[in-house]
Structure formats: structure tokens, C-alpha cells
A and B are shown apart, each in its own frame.
Chain A
Amino acid sequence: MRVLAAVLLTLLFMGMLLWEMPISYAQVPKGPWVDEVIFSVETDEAKTIDMLLKNEIQVYFRDIGDPKLFEKIKASPDLWYVTSYGLYFELTFNPVGPEFPATGKLNPFSVPRIREAMNYLVDRKYICDEIMAGMAVPKYTVLTPAFPDYARYADVIKGIEKEYSYNFDKAREIITEEMIKLGAELKEGKWYYKGEPVTIIFIIRVEDQRRMIGDYVASQLEKIGFTVDRQYKTSREASPIWLRGNPADGKWHVYTGGWIVTAVSRDDADTFGYFYTPRGAGGPLWSAYKPSPEFDYVAGRLWTRDYKTIEERDELMRKALKLSMEDSVRVWLVSQTAPWPARKEVSLTYDLAAGFSGARLWPYTIRYIDKVGGTVKIVSTDLLVDPINPVGGSNWVYDAMFYRALSDPAVIPDPFTGLYWPQRVKRAEVYVEKGLPVGVTLDWVSLKFVDEITVPRDAWYDWDPVKQEIIYAPPGTKAKTKTVVYYDDNLFNIKFHDGSKLSLADIVFAYILTFDRAKPESPVYDESYIPAFEAFREYFRGFKIVSTSPLVIEYYSDQLYLDAEWIAWAAASAFYPEYSYGPAPWHMVAIGWLAEADKKLAFSADKAENLKVEWMSYVAGPSIPILAERLEKAIKERFIPYRNVLGKYVSEAEALERYSNLKKWYDAKGHFLIGNGPFYLDRVDPTARIVVLKANREFIDPADKWLRFSKPMVPEVKITAAPTIVPGLPANITISVTFEGKPYSRADMSYIKYIITSPTVTLTGAAEAVEDGKWVIRLKPEETALLAAGAVSIDIIAVSKLVGMPVSASGTAIVMSETEYILSELARAKADYEVKISDLKTSLERRVSEINTKVNELAGALGAITTAMWVGIAALVISIIAIILTVLRRK
């Protein structure tokens, strides 16, 4: 009995210990941290925030647009939020003119200088603070503030931001000058052209803050004398006018444009070509763009990545940035900083461009901070928008956010830098032709430059759908890059959710399908796939399986990226069983393949429309019974697609085992969507629009593998000491770089650049790292000699290797002449001494006062002692008298 009690007590004690144990000591599970993730839909933002506050849900997979709700989030102790930079607003100008051919009316914005002056006319800070209620940052150039290219050219951009900051008078001056040149007249504060007021037709979008932005810009235009015809329109009302309408018709002058990016872009070289030249979107507006020959040349070279070195690209980008401001066919206004809220007890990775829902790593990192397991409820504004199938299914972010949790890609993008990290790859060797601008940052990729790359004859090059065989590379095929990918040793131990093990057949099948869908002779030929295939074919030069255990492949391509990690991504992912719209083993795709070949379903929406059949869904709806029939057929016929080739990689018995696994899965779950990711799809309720994902505890990795990406290490920079600068003398300006109060490792910092602006000169350069968390700007005597006396402003831009987003800080320093400096030093010494003397005097006085107090205290104490002594003596005398009297009375 006692033993039992002891055991029970021990167990109880251990249980209590485990209960109290922090998460870092608790057992890290395989797969994700949490047991279950439930997605549902709520379209009302205010209701969602209330549900978050009441803990009815834990994460909102949508950004908040209402500033009042944002205030509520900030004020709540139970919520936290992250910020993404995906959306930005601008002014799109009609460049046709000076007169519209159709109407003969004047278009002032046909003049680049007037467009450029619009930069001065709009106060971006006002838009950010007052219209966007703090949920935006000013944007002056086409580059997005949080992305690597902004960081690369932050010094140029900072210069542009200073140069083009709000200056109403300058705007008026330039516009007046140009308007007069155009033949317009200013009468009683209003511009007239050929006797009629110059009326600007301003298409203002009404769905978001652009309505107020439009009103503000219209008011500014009115202040300088234009008559503004404000036309408030929704996207759909506006787009036929500004986008597809002929700008020469003169139906509009300005439009409040808005653009969105959904992933951190590492290379925005083509962005100038897209937004400022006819190369962009096509259609009448873009055709009307006439950039200056110099800008067109620069934008064209950047568009085709026509540069040999990074330095050459840098030069082109810097030039393009400046020229784009002079062109200003678009005036960029603000980049929205959209908050994404979640409960404080839940942590997950987010993406700087696409928030929570767009972060590839969220399934790996979502967790409760204080416990392992549990259910996380996520709400978004939509779900199950289009049919889901890996080959040509839904591309909506509302669907991708959950089907991506079912997959486990070969490499994973860093949500803060956009670089790729290995997931199922040990390492990669990238070989690039000499003279091409490629760099490398992460150590899992090695980069080597070689004179020439020849594709070996035994490399796979194409697919013959008639003979059903692989076509090998023609002799003498050259490639610009070669990548050798070394996959993990345990790659083929990875299991799909139905229990089937990943095998080489999955990769070979993906290879064949990539080509077969583009071949008219194939039963799965899809016309709508051709554009994507053509782009792929343009670059693809060869694929070779070097070793199967462990898997090593060679990938030959002409496609170049600035980062070798991206080249390695393209190679490692090309035929990995992770298709464009989700993961899939070959046997899962095979039943869809049969359904498409039988013309009962189609992978893509376009082909479904052509065949007048259902667009294939592996999750629900009328596709499911058709797929179930095809599964039975596959089992019955022991179907191996492309048997001539795939049959070498998979036996009939293996194929049957896979189909049987899928059948069991379908019988248990009622759908066919399986992957190999940290979560599996447990249930879907299409009508109620609820998706339930459960933890895949058979997953190969522990949950803490990607924990370091829970929070971006955005450095906090501060100018800690800006001394008085004396022209001709060296000067040091100290900068602190920290993260959550701790010094930021200098190894993790890319660079810190500075811009010191004085009336006489602007100094730029890079700060030096002294130690972790401490950097110094060292100004040489010859540099300080150029500075004029007075205040100078110091702007610093810091860029970390861990986060794509640059951070900046500002400060001021005083520049003095040598005489002033000596005098000020003397004055300071004098002041110092005076202070010291004053301190000494005060100190002495205080001491004297203290001594006096002590003396008084002592004197008081002495008086008390004397009194006590006299009382004692009196008592003694009385006692003696009393004793004597007592003795005498006895006698």
C-alpha cells in the first residue's frame, strides 16, 4: 500500500513538473507543434477582431484595413500583429499629348517635367499620417521598401526622398513655367488653354483609401489652378477607361493606381521596364509610354538582365532610379503597412510581402508559446474558392494557404529575405558561365564560375509522346548554368499521408508530365499550358539522375537569377513531387490523368471549359465519384502511366500497393488530396466552408527545425554618439545595432550606409563594425574639411542578412570651425571647472552642515547624559538617606 502511495505521489509530482516545464524542455513532437488547424470564413473584419479578442479564433489570415480596428489590436494586451508591405498606391498619368488627338484638349501630364513636379505637389507624409492613419510609409520610387533591391540602393533612394520631398512652391513654380510653355494662361488663379479652363479628368478609385488620396491630390491640383473633374469609380468601372481605353481619346488624365505583390522579390530589375516603358503590360496605355532614350535604354537592359556583373547592374539600377523620377509617368505615393493580428499565446512565421497566409513556413512554426499540441482556429475572408488539384487547380491564396500546409518542398523560401533554404536537400553546387552576375549568400550552395557548360549526351532533354520515350540532349547542347543537387539521404523514407513512400518514380513521373501536357499527341494535352511550357522550354537544357541512393541530380538551364540559391531552387524543385498547385505522389496524379484522358474531368479550368466537363477537384464535389471510378480502374488494370519509362522505376506490385493506400485513404477521409507535409487534410465541409488539418506525426522532422524563423530579426539602429565635427579633423560617429536590446551580430549584418548632408556637400559611405552591436562612421580629415559650419544631418541605412527590410535612423551633428572649436572647448572646460568648483563648494557646505548636525546631536546627547547623571546622583542620595533612616528606625 505504501509502495503504491509512493508511486502515485511520484507520478503526481512528475506530472506537476511536466506541467510546469517550459516548452524548450518538453518533448518536441514530429511534424508540427500543434495537433490541429481549423480554417473557416468570416467576411466581417470587426466581427473577426472581436472573435480574436474573445479567443474564439487564434489567428486572422488577412490583413486589417480599418485604422480603428488597428487601434483596437494595438490596445489589446491579448493580441499581437505583424506588418506586411505588399500593397502600394500611386498616380498613373496619361502620357499622350500635349493635346489629346481625339478632343484637342490639353494634357499637362504629357510633359515629363510637370509629372516630375507632381512629386513635390503631394505630401506623402500627410497621406501616411492622416489618410492612411499611420498604416503606410511614404514611397517615392518603384522599389518596395521592405525588399532587397530597396536595401541595395537605399542610399540612392534616401537621396531621392530628400530631393523630392513635399515642396508646394517648387511644384507650382515648375508647373507654371511648363504650362506657359504649352501656351496656357493663368487668369484669376485658374489655368486656361485656348480660352477654356484646363480640366483634369481624375479617375479616383472608391474601394479603399484611394478615394481620400484622390480627393487630396485633386485639391492640390486645384490649388495650383487646375479645374479637376473628379470621377469616382470602382475597379471594374475604371479599368475599361484607363487600362483598355485608348489614352489618346482623352477620357482621363490621372488615375489612382494600386498594385500588390505577394512574395518578397529578390530581383526587381525588370520593374522599370514594366511600369515606365511599353514593355510592361501591353495594351494601349503601355504603348503610349515614351520614355527618354536614355531611360528606355537603361530600362531595356535591366528588363532583359543584360549585364555581366553585379556592379554593372548596380550602375544601371541607380541610373534607372533617378531617370524614373524624371520620367514620373507614375508618381509613387505610399506603401501600405498592413497589420495581421493573432492571439499573443500563438506564434507563427509571417512573410514581409504576404503576411501570415503567404508565409511558406507557417505550417512548420505555428504553435502555442506555452504548450505543445492544441487546436488553432484560423479565419480568413474566403476559402475553397476554386477546385483543388496539384496540376492545374486553384491558385487563390485562400486555397493555397491550406494546401501548402500539406506539402513539404525540397527547398523553402526565407520569409524575410526571399532566399531559399534547404529542406530535403543537403547541398547544391551551382556552376555558372564566367561573366554572369550571380552571387551567393547561404553556405548550402556553392558557386563556381566556369568557361563553358556542355550538357552531357545522356541528360534528359524532352519527351516523345508517340514512342513514349525520353529524348536525350542533342550533341553540343550548351547551358548557362549547371546545378548539382544532393538530396537528403533519407529522402526515400519520406511518407505521403496515405503511407506510400516517396520514390524516384514520383520524380520521373513529374518530369514526363511536364512535357507530355504540352504535346498535342498526348491524351492530357492542354492548350492553356503551352505559354508556361514555352517559357520553361526556353530555358531548360537538361536533367540527369547521377545517383539514386542518395539521390543526386544535375540540372542544366539558361535561366539566371542574381542569387545562386534561386538557381539551386529551380533545379531542386523542377521535378520534385511538388506541383504548381500543391504536392502529389504519382499515383494520386495518375487517377486524375485517367479521368482527363477519358474526357470526364480536366486538370485546368481552360481544358475543362473546352471539354465541357468539371474542373478537377481532389477534395469535394462531382469530381470525387469520377476519381473514385478511375482509382478502381487503375487497380483493376494495374495502371502505370507512361509504363514504357515509369515501369522501370515502379513495379506492378508497388503500383497496386500505392493505389490500395490511396483507396484506404479515400474510404477513411472521403477525398483524394494527399501530400507529404507536416499536416494532412482531415476533413472538408464545402458548404460550411470549413477545412480541418491534422498533424502528420509520421513527418520526418521535429517541430523545432524552423523555429528560428518565428520572428524576423529586424535590427534596431540608433546614432548613440554624434560628436562635434571639426573641419579638417577626423571624427567618429557611433551607431548601436541591437535586436530586442541585445547586440546584433556583425556577421549577420550586410552593411550600414550613411548619408551626411551639409549645405556644402553630401558625404556617403559605409560604417565599420567595431564589435557586435557597435558600428562607427569614420570621417577622414579631408571629408570633414568639406563640411560647412552649422548643423548637419546624418541618415543611416542598415541592412541585415537575415531580413530583407532595410532600417534607417537619423540624427544631427554640429560642425564648427577650428577657432570656434577651441573657444568652445575652452568654454566647455571653463564650464566644467565651474561646475566642478560649484560641486566642490556644495559638497563642502554639505559636509560642514553634516558636522554641525553631528555636533548638535552630540551636544544634545551630552545634555541628556548630564541630566541623567544628576538624576542618578539624586536617586543615590535619596537611597542613601533612605537606608540611613531605615537603619536608625530599627535601632
Chain B
Amino acid sequence: MLPRIIKYGLKRIIILFITVVIAVYITIWIANIGGYVDEIVKSDILLQVSQSVRQNPAYRGLNETQITKIINEIYENELKKIGFDKPFIYRSLIYLKDAITLSLGRALFLSSDSGSKSVRIIILERLPNTVLLFTTTQLILFFIGLFFGLFLSRRYGSFLDRLSVLLAPLSSLPGWFYGIFLILIFASFLRLLPYGGMVDAPPPADKLAYALSVLKHMTLPVLSWLIAYSFINVYVRRTFFLMFSSEDYVEFAKAKGLPDSIIQRRYILRPTLPPIITDFSLTLIGSWMGAIITERVFNWPGVGSLFYMASVMFDTPVLVGLVVIYAYLLAATVFVLEFVYAILDPRIRAGVT
């Protein structure tokens, strides 16, 4: 049994690894538009260099040859600095190696908030902020959905049930949309909460005060997402549990006269655990990527805005770094989940379809 599991596990790891490598390499090509980004970046650099040389009083009065020489030298240096003196194919393999080994390399244009060019530091500085805001929000949303979904599934047709169904369409609008209204009401009109940012300016020197200030700044973004996504989450879970509640074995348990708590725990929750855990895991991983527009609306320095900046500036190493971390996390989650399923649900076994 054990060797079979190890063999299966190894096989899965190899397949997942190959998938990650292919996905990352495709990302590298997409992020560089098949190498066309080189042309764009070179044009930008040439223009910037020639402009800066022209506007720098230190270069005034040099003759054409000297100016051209200086422009060319600076231009070549700039290209060399970002590795553009080598062909794209070669660079793409370097990017891939950095990504797969998780060394992640150095950013082309972006710096971390503290001034580092290391992609790893750039991402790691933003990740805690994103985890703090979005993972918290996703966890709250997940548990609201789970508990209220289960609760309402047992009270199908009640006032609360109908109310949740009625409010579910609120999710047709994204969280940042409610965010704008919340800023207008609580920041601009009532002046109770901040317009955005992560902490008061100046930041409180005391750690507790700092934490409280961060909490205050989290309030509106969290609230905006709760308004937008709580009801649909509850609605989806409630429907999901309703479907399982009407299974024959649940009806049978009811007929046997088992108490509600046992029916919920053993007959409804247990068989629904694999999809719930999958959903939970993927939601957690997804939350680490942040949310571009919400971060911009609330001026929250997270991974989402980093992703946006890296895309706009064609900073391939940063983009690839973000993607590879996500890819590895996803692959690891998929790998672990396969075993978790097997533990949770006896019907699922390796090799059995």
C-alpha cells in the first residue's frame, strides 16, 4: 500500500512540476509579448536617455559627436543594467531558472518599498499586507457562508432565508464599487474613518497604537467586500447544503429520528467536506494575489497593486515571481488535497475513478 502511495505521490509531483514549469515559461512569453517588449523597453530607454542628456546643464555645449557618444554610452549601460544586452530567448531561460529555483532574481524597473531590487523582497514586503487584508476578509466571508448557509439550509423558506435570497444580487457589483460609497459616507461625509492607506500619517510610534490604526484602515475595505460577497456566499452555501440535505441517506437519518446536530455533522457536513476544503484552500491562495482595483481604491499597498505596476512597466521578473509563487502554492495545494480527499471520503482512492 505504502509504496503505491509513494509511487503515486512522486508521479503526481513530477506531473505538477512539469505543469508549473510550462505555465511559468508561457507566462514569461506572454509577459514579454514574445519578445516584443524588448522593442518597447529599448524605445523608452532611448527617449528617456536622450531627454535627460538634453535637459542636463552639465552636458550643455558639447558637440554632436560627444552628445551622441554620451547618449549611446548611457543607453548601452541602461540596457546592460536590465540584461537587455542579451537576446530574449537567453533571458527567458534565466527568468525561468530564477523562477523555478525560487531565487526570483532582480526586478527590471520596480524597487521594493524599502528600496530593494530583489524580486523576493519586493513580493515579501507586499505579501503580509495582502494576507492581512484579503485573507482576513476571505476567512470572514468563508465562515459567514459556511455557518449561515448551514443555518439557513435548515430553515428553508423562513424570513431570513428569503432575505438572504433577496440580498444575494448585491454581489453583482464588485467590492470596490461599494468601497467608493463607503469612502464617501464614512470618510468624506461622516469623517469617521480614513480615506485609505494602511496607517495614519504620521504612523503611531507605539506598536499597539500602530496595530489599532491598521485595523481602523482595514475597516472600510473589509466592509466593502463583506457587503458585496457575504450574501452570495451564504446563498451558494445554503443551496449547496440544501441539495445535500435532500439526499436519501439524510432523509433516512431523519426518519430514524436522529437529532439535528448529528444529521448536520455526520450526514451533511462530512460528505460535503472535500468541496468545502477545496474551496477554502483555493480561496486562501487566491487571496494572496490581492485585488487590483480594491487596493487602488483604498490605496492599500498589497500584491494586487504590485501586479498592476509590474504589468504596466513590463517588469517580467516581478510578474513571473508572482505567478510562480501562485503556481507552486496551487500545485502544492492540489497535491495535498488529493490525499486529504482520500482521508475524508472513503469513496475516493488512488487509481479509482
| Contact call A244/B66, Cβ cutoff below 8 A | no
Tell me which residues across on chain B come within 8 A of A615, comparing CB atoms: 111, 115-117
Assuming the A-B contacts A388-B115, A606-B81, A686-B114, are A244 and B46 also in contact, with contact meaning beta carbons closer than 8 angstroms in the complex? yes
Known: A40-B201, A280-B50, A386-B111. A528 touches B72 (CB 8 A): no
Contact assessment for B43 and A531 in the assembled complex, using a CB-CB cutoff below 8 Å: no
B118 touches A614 (CB 8 A): yes
Task: Check A700 for interface membership: any CB of B closer than 8 A.
Answer: no
> At the interface, yes or no: B301 with Cβ under 8 Å from chain A?
yes
Q: How large is the interface on A (under 10, 10 to 19, 20 to 34, 35 or more residues)?
A: 35 or more
In angstroms, how far is the closest chain B Cβ from the Cβ of A76? 14
Other-chain contact of B50, A281, A300, A530 (Cβ < 8 Å): A281
A692 to B201, CA, bound (A): 8
CB-contacts of A225-244 with B (<8 A): 235-237, 239-240, 243-244
Q: Which of B81, B112, B201 contacts A528 (CB 8 A)?
A: B81
Minimum C-beta distance from A688 to chain B (A): 4
Question: What are 18 A-B interface contacts by the 8 Å CB criterion?
Answer: A36-B202, A40-B201, A47-B195, A239-B47, A244-B39, A279-B64, A279-B67, A280-B50, A282-B50, A283-B46, A303-B64, A305-B60, A384-B114, A614-B118, A686-B113, A687-B125, A687-B198, A690-B199
Across-interface contacts of B42 in A (CB, < 8 A): 240, 244
Q: Let me know if B70 and A535 touch, CB within 8 A.
A: yes
Task: Say yes or no: is A440 at the interface (Cβ < 8 Å to chain B).
Answer: no
Please give the distance in Å from B174's CB to the nearest CB on chain A.
16
Q: Is B58 an interface residue (CB 8 A)?
A: yes
Contact B195 A689 (CB under 8 A): no
Q: Is A683 an interface residue (CB 8 A)?
A: yes
Binds B, one of A100-108, A170-178, A559-567, A862-870: A559-567
User: Contact string, B46-80, partner A, CB cutoff 8 A, digits 1/0?
Assistant: 11001100110111111110111111111001101
When the two chains form their complex, are residues A606 and B77 in contact, meaning their CB atoms are under 8 A apart? yes
Taking CB as reference atom, which chain B residue is nearest A682?
A: B202
Q: What separation, in Å, do the CA atoms of A614 and B121 have in the docked complex?
A: 11
Query: Is A535 a contact partner of B59 (Cβ separation < 8 A)?
Result: yes
Write out, one digit per residue, whether chain A residues 616-656 have a CB within 8 A of any chain B CB (1) or not (0): 01011111000000000000000000000000000000000
A270–B202 CB distance below 8 A = no
* Given A51-B195, A54-B191, A282-B68: A387 and B62 interface contact (C-beta under 8 Å): no
Q: Which residues of A contact B147 (CB under 8 A)?
A: none
Question: Which B residues are in CB contact (< 8 Å) with A388?
Answer: 115
B70's contact among A47, A236, A280, A534, by CB below 8 Å, is which?
A: A534
B36 contacts A by Cβ under 8 Å: yes
Task: Determine the distance from Cα of A303 to Cα of B66 in the docked complex, in whole angstroms.
Answer: 12
Q: Select which of B43, B50, B111 is within 8 A of A240 by beta carbon.
A: B43
Assess whether B115 is in contact with A620, with CB atoms less than 8 Å apart. yes
CB <8 Å contact, A243 and B58: no
Question: Which stretch of A139-147, A260-268, A703-711 is in the interface?
Answer: A260-268
Q: A44 at interface (Cβ–Cβ under 8 A)? A: yes
Question: What 1/0 mask marks residues of chain A from 523 to 561 whose CB sits below 8 Å from any chain B CB?
Answer: 000011011101110110000000000000000000111
- Does any Cβ of A come within 8 Å of B183's Cβ? yes
A304 at the interface (CB under 8 A from B): yes
Q: Which residues on B sit within 8 Å (CB–CB) of A534? A: 66, 69-70, 73
**B274 interface hit (Cβ, 8 Å):** no
Judge whether B169 is part of the interface by a CB distance below 8 angstroms. Answer: no
* Sample of 7 further A-B pairs with CB below 8 A, known A304-B61, A687-B301: A42-B196, A270-B60, A305-B60, A531-B70, A531-B77, A610-B81, A688-B201
B44 part of interface (Cβ distance < 8 Å) = yes
Number of residue pairs A-B, CB distance < 8 angstroms: 200
Nearest-Cβ distance from residue B253 to partner chain A, whole angstroms: 52
B63 neighbours in A (Cβ, 8 Å): 304
**A536 near B296: Cβ-Cβ < 8 Å:** no
* CB-based contact B58/A535 at 8 Å: yes
Q: Are A531 and B301 in contact (CB under 8 A)?
A: no
Q: B82 within 8 Å of A by Cβ?
A: yes
B positions within 8 Å CB-CB of A: 36, 39-40, 42-44, 46-47, 50-51, 54-55, 57-64, 66-74, 77-78, 80-83, 106, 111-118, 121, 125, 129, 183, 188, 191, 195-199, 201-203, 296-297, 299, 301, 314
The minimal Cβ–Cβ distance linking A358 to chain B, given in whole angstroms, is 12
* Among candidates A236, A265, A303, A688, residue contacting B314 with C-beta atoms closer than 8 Å: A236
Answer whether A262 and B55 are a contact pair too, CB < 8 Å, given A44-B296, A530-B73, A606-B81.
yes
Q: Is the interface of B mostly helix, strand, loop or mixed?
A: helix
The 8 Å CB contact of A690, one of B66, B67, B71, B201, is B201
Q: Does A756 contact B (CB under 8 A)?
A: no
- Contacts A38-B202, A690-B201 given; indicate if A243 touches B47 (C-beta within 8 A): yes
In the bound complex, what is the Cα–Cα distance between A303 and B62 (angstroms)? 8
Taking the complex as formed, is A845 at the interface, i.e. its CB lies under 8 A from any CB of chain B?
A: no
Leading 10 A-B pairs by shortest Cβ distance: A621-B114, A617-B115, A387-B115, A281-B50, A239-B43, A686-B113, A240-B39, A620-B114, A686-B114, A244-B43
- Write the chain B residue with the least CB distance to A399: B115
Is the beta-carbon distance between A42 and B73 smaller than 8 angstroms? no
Distance in angstroms from B149 CB to nearest chain A CB is 36
**Do the beta carbons of A688 and B68 come within 8 Å of each other?**
no
Assuming the contacts A243-B46, A280-B50, A608-B117, asked whether A685 and B55 have C-beta atoms less than 8 A apart, the reply is no
How far apart are the CA atoms of A385 and B42 in the complex, in Å?
21
Within 8 Å of chain B (Cβ to Cβ): is A274?
yes
Query: Which of A243, A270, A282, A538 makes the CB contact (< 8 A) with B71?
Result: A282
Minimum distance in angstroms from A556 CB to a CB of chain B:
16
Q: Which residues of A contact B296 (CB under 8 A)?
A: 43-44
Chain A interface SS verdict (over half): mixed
A435 to B55, CA, bound (A): 26
- Chain B residues near A686 (CB, 8 Å)? 112-115, 125
Known contacts being A236-B44, A606-B80, A688-B301, is A531 close to B115, with CB within 8 Å? no
Indicate with 1 or 0, residue by residue over A437-448, a CB within 8 angstroms of chain B CB atoms: 000000000000
A233–B43 Cα distance when bound, in Å, is 15
Q: How far is the CB of A494 from chain B (nearest CB, A)?
A: 25
Give the contacts of A40-61 with B (CB-CB under 8 A).
40-44, 47, 50-51, 54, 56
Q: Give a binary string over A657-674; 1 marks a CB under 8 Å from any B CB, 0 the rest.
A: 000000000000000000
Partner of A688, one of B61, B64, B197: B197
Quick one: given A240-B36, A566-B57, are A538 and B115 in contact (CB under 8 Å)? no
Given A282-B68, A619-B115, CB of A47 within 8 Å of CB of B198: no
Contact of B43 among A243, A280, A305, A530 (CB under 8 A): A243
A129 is an interface residue with CB less than 8 A from chain B:
no
Chain A residues with CB below 8 A from B61, complex form: 304-305, 539, 559-560
Given known A-B contacts A239-B40, A561-B60, A683 and B125 have beta carbons under 8 A apart = no
In the complex the two chains form, what is the Cα distance from A369 to B78 in whole Å?
A: 46
Given contacts A44-B299, A534-B70, contact A561 B46 (CB under 8 A): no
Q: Is A612 an interface residue (CB 8 A)?
A: yes
- Please tell me if A478 contacts chain B, counting CB pairs below 8 Å: no
Determine how close the nearest CB of chain A comes to the CB of B130; give it in whole angstroms: 11
Contact status A689-B116, CB under 8 Å? no
A36's closest neighbor in chain B, by CB? B202
Q: In the complex, are the beta carbons of A54 and B202 less than 8 A apart?
A: no
- Which A residues are CB-close (under 8 A) to B299? 41-44
Please state if B195 and A685 are interface contacts (CB–CB under 8 Å): no
Distance of B202 from chain A, by nearest CB (Å) = 5
- Assembled-state Cα–Cα distance A47/B180 (Å): 10
Residues of B within 8 A of A536 (CB): 58
Bound CA–CA A142/B240 (angstroms)? 68
Bound complex: CA of A481 vs CA of B47, how far in Å?
33
- A259 to B67: give the CA distance in the assembly, Å: 20
The minimal Cβ–Cβ distance linking A749 to chain B, given in whole angstroms, is 27
Instruction: State the CA gap A686–B116 with chains docked (Å).
Output: 11
Contacts of A532 in B (CB 8 A): 58
Q: Find out whether the CB atom of A621 lies under 8 angstroms from the CB atom of B77.
A: no
- The yes or no answer to A91 lying at the interface (CB within 8 A) is no
Cα of A622 to Cα of B118 in the assembled complex, Å = 10
Chain A residues with CB below 8 A from B77, complex form: 527-528, 531, 606
- Docked CA distance A236–B39 (Å): 9
